[in-house]
Amino acid sequence: MILGADFQTSSVAETPIAVKQWAENTNYRLENSQTKDEFLQNLMAAHINFEQIHPFEDGNGRTGRELINLELAKNEMPFLIIPIQ
């Protein structure tokens, strides 16, 4: 669960299939993006979907941000940087 969230994350039993479906959908959407803007929109949607699955007991946010940067690096785009405030 995510404290303060107004949605239910995937159960332990649902998580493997949810992650598989997420990966397949994300790969399809990113590979078929027609523009950089569409790619970024699809990448951000994939991040939100990943966080809603919440597959790990700890580290979901860090893992999700690293997945964003992996895809950005693969496409020779600048990394996501979130400043400390």
Per-residue confidence (pLDDT) for residue 64, from 0 to 100: 94
Question: d(Cα 29, Cα 11) in Å, to the nearest integer?
Answer: 25
Q: Is 64 annotated as a binding residue?
A: yes
How much of the chain, in percent, has pLDDT values that exceed 90? 69
Verify whether residue 54 is a known catalytic residue: yes
Domain boundaries, the chain: 15-74
Q: Is 35 annotated as a binding residue?
A: no
Per-residue confidence (pLDDT) for residue 3, from 0 to 100: 63
> What average pLDDT score do residues 51-67 get?
90
Contact in structure between 68 and 28 (CB atoms under 8 Å): no
Residue 42 has pLDDT above 70, yes or no: yes
Whole-model pTM: value is 0.85
- Among 39, 42, 46, 54, the active-site one is 54
Per-residue confidence (pLDDT) for residue 70, from 0 to 100: 97
Question: d(Cα 50, Cα 48) in Å, to the nearest integer?
Answer: 5
Q: Is 26 annotated as a binding residue?
A: no
